[in-house]
Amino acid sequence: MLFFATNRFIFIIYNLEEWTGNSFSEVAYSFLSAWHLDFSQTSYFVAIPTVLLLFYSVTCWQFILKIISWVNYILISISTIIFTAEISIYDEWHTKLNKKAVLYLQHPTEVMNSATNKEIFSGLILILFIIVLFIFIYKKWVMMKYTLQQFYWYVPIIGMLIFPALIVIGIRGGLQQIPIQQSDAYYSKSNFLNLSSVNSIWNLGQSFIENRYDNGTNRYKIYDDSVANIIVKDLYAVEKDSFPQLLSNPKPNVVLVILESWSADLLKSLGGFDSVAPNMEKLIDDGVLFTDLYSSGTLSDQGHCSLLSGFPSQPNTVILRQPDKFQKLPSIVNHFKKNGYYTAYYFGGELIYGNIKGYIYYNQFDRIIEGKDFDNKLPKGKLGYHDEFLFDKVLTEMNTFKQPFFTTAFTMSSHSPYDYPGQTKYFDWGGDENMYVNGAHYSDKCIGDFMQKAKQQPWFKNTLFIFCSDHSHTSPKHTDFYNPHSRKIVGFLYGNVIKPEYRGLKINKMGNHHDIANTLLNQLKGDVKPFVWSKNLLNPYSKDFGFSADEYLIYFYNKNNAYTYRYTDNLFLYKNFISVEDSVKMFRYGSAYVQQLYQQYLDY
């Protein structure tokens, strides 16, 4: 732990200009905030000597102690090289050391030529100094001096019962439901201080895990890049940039409600059940509904990326789990901050899941509230505080915000285990998805109460509400997983700021939730150029199509055709084409789409 803290201190001192605008206490807090990841990485390192010590307790072979010491010497040396390399990497890329950077070491000559003699010499001196210092500390205060002279039967038994469990708990960061994530170390609006708190060894290991199938080449490449680029541009080309202006004010307050796991099957308006979401149905009757909207992924972190960055999900990886990549994404939050909006994000659970916390902090919301910030006297479920308490907090705090404001609220009660307060069973039907529809109904009730209270607030008349799912979910209809219809989600706009003539409008344009960014910013007269994967759903000239990804699967579909393709064995798991010509055209579009999308992910 001292070793990690020392290297963090060197990193912070070396990058003095990065944190001079922050208070000393905020900089110092990075050492405390780093504790969980540092301890997790320490537990990984301790695992090897522990196995050797257990073996030693049985055999009493003294040379095992020497092996343990050499294991630690090697860990100190390798870690020091990583820490030192990260200083140069951050100076160049403003990211932590990751797999992409390590792959550059395949060309050591190029690396050496890009560094000055002073950088090389000072780097070697620093590496040597830290290694010598910490090997000395290890020998002086850590190395095991006591040796076993005989076998004690109870020692390995106690060790086998206790130490593996303690190490596993340490590695996962405790006994909480969600294992430790990079974002556990995030605490500041300064990206540099957050990155300083993230353990470099842990981060590098995570980068290799997240990119375990990535060898630096695009496995989805079929066409020449220039050809694929032309195909994708054709997909997004519009004959006219024409669309209705729905809003009476181009600078309204905006409230984005991210609906956890809401399938389109939960709404009668979208062809689903007629009793699950009566409150949202009322809002839709007076709002603007997107009738053919699909999620690009299956996870909440993917949904956040789609909604806030207009960036589709990628097959077999999640960009939000990689800070070096997600910091290159565009963000609608930037639009709001540039235009004087106060920004806030609310969630009743813990944001560490999928590294959402790191992404939210990087986007510099003015106020970020999660489970730990709620009154602990409130009833709490297994995942966090229920939706009624989430919306109560959102409403109470929004009344104190200066206008205009952008607020994001992420619901939770429609996520398993659906342990909402009282456990009132609203419906007996639904089979194995009975608790899902009950949890969704409770969430809809909370939204209804929230909106009734919101209508009484002075800011309501100038507020646009956006309701959209983060992803879909298996419903009692049990649509086949490989059928793109299983990805259909909820998405609609509501508010007095919508002009009366557009209230009750149904938009039948097919698209994804990553198209919300372009659609919204066009209404707010914002810059949509950074959102290259997002189209305007209100433009009648936009092409009808959608894309989804999951592991090695890609789904590509339009109004009349659809297919699901698995790249591991080049197999269509679902296909529905009107004609042979359409099948060729659709596969060409889908293949070029995933090729270009994945290439951009790799380039990040």
Domain tally, the chain: 2
The whole-number pLDDT of residue 217 equals: 85
Q: Which helix (H) or strand (E) holds 342?
A: strand 342-347
Strands (E) across 246-320 are located at 253-259, 288-290, 293-294
- Reported in sequence order, the residue ranges of 370-514 that DSSP labels E, i.e. its strands, are 405-410, 463-469, 491-494, 505-507, 511-512
Residue 299 lies in a domain: yes
What residues have CB less than 8 Å from 292, skipping those under 6 apart?
488, 508, 509, 510, 511, 544, 546, 559
3-state secondary structure of 63: helix
| Residue 308 belongs to a domain | yes
Contact 468, 307 (CB under 8 A): yes
Say if residue 346 is exposed, middle or buried (CB neighbours under 10 Å; 0-12, 13-18, 19+): buried
* CB-based contacts of 492, cutoff 8 Å, min separation 6: 280, 283, 284, 287, 288, 289, 290, 466, 467, 468
d(CA 122, CA 117): 8
Given 210, 227, 261, the domain boundary residue is 210
Q: Is the bond into 315 cis (omega within 30 degrees of 0)?
A: no
CATH number at residue 462: 3.40.720.10
Question: 160 - beta bridge partners?
Answer: none
Asked whether residue 244 is assigned to any structural domain, the reply reads yes
Domain span at residue 406? 237-539
Q: Which structure tokens are listed for 311? A: 């960036």
Q: What pLDDT does residue 104 have? A: 65
Whether residues 103 and 245 share a domain: the answer is no
6 with 116, same domain: the answer is: yes
Task: Say if residue 56 is in the same domain as residue 94.
Answer: yes
The answer to whether the beta carbons of residues 415 and 421 sit under 8 Å apart is no
Please indicate, yes or no, if residue 33 is contained in any of the structural domains. yes
Give the residue from 474, 379, 454, 473 showing the smallest Cα distance to 409. Answer: 454
Sorted by sequence, the CB contacts under 8 Å of residue 356 that are 6+ apart come out as 183, 300, 301, 304, 320
pLDDT of residue 175: 86
Q: Is the dihedral of CA 434, 440, 443, 448 positive or negative?
A: negative
Exposed e or buried b per residue across 361-380, where buried means at least 16 C-beta atoms within 10 angstroms of its C-beta: bbbbbbebbbbeebeeeeeb
In a domain, 599, yes or no: no
Contact 596/232 with Cβ under 8 angstroms? yes
Judge if 319 and 391 occupy the same domain. Answer: yes
Check whether residue 204 and residue 296 sit in a common domain.
no
Sequence letter at residue 208: F
Sheet (strand 463-469) strand order: 367-369, 342-347, 405-410, 253-259, 463-469, 491-494, 288-290, 505-507
**490 close to 270: Cβ distance less than 8 angstroms:** yes
Q: What is the pLDDT of residue 181?
A: 86
Contact 82, 200 (CB under 8 A): yes
Count CB-CB contacts under 10 A for residue 350.
19
Residues 199 and 344 in one domain: no
Answer with the one of 539, 557, 588 that is the final residue of a domain. Answer: 539
User: 348 and 465 share a domain?
Assistant: yes
Let me know whether 90 and 193 are in one domain.
yes
Name 511's Cβ contacts closer than 8 Å, sequence gap at least 6: 290, 292, 293, 294, 535, 537, 542, 544, 545, 546
Do 279 and 188 fall into the same domain? Answer: no
- Which pLDDT tens digit goes with each residue over 309-320? 999 999 988 999
Residue with tokens 């732990």, as numbered in its chain = 1
Same domain, 414 and 468: yes
Q: What is the DSSP letter of 138?
A: I
User: Is residue 573 one of the residues assigned to a domain?
Assistant: no
Q: Which of 175, 210, 245 is the last residue of a domain?
A: 210
577: nearest Cα among 568, 567, 569, 589: 589
96 — phi, psi (to 5°)? -80, 165
Same domain, residue pair 464 and 518:
yes
Domain presence at residue 433 = yes
Residue 316 domain-assigned (yes or no): yes
Residue numbers in the chain where pLDDT is lower than 70: 104-115, 423
Quick one: 474 and 405 in the same domain? yes
Angle of helix 300-309 versus helix 516-523 axis, rounded to 10: 30
Q: What is the pLDDT of residue 113?
A: 58
pLDDT tens-place string over residues 3-25: 999 999 999 999 988 888 899 99
* 3-state SS class at 546: strand
Residue 68 burial (CB count, 10 A): 19
Closest CA to 591 of 551, 556, 549: 556
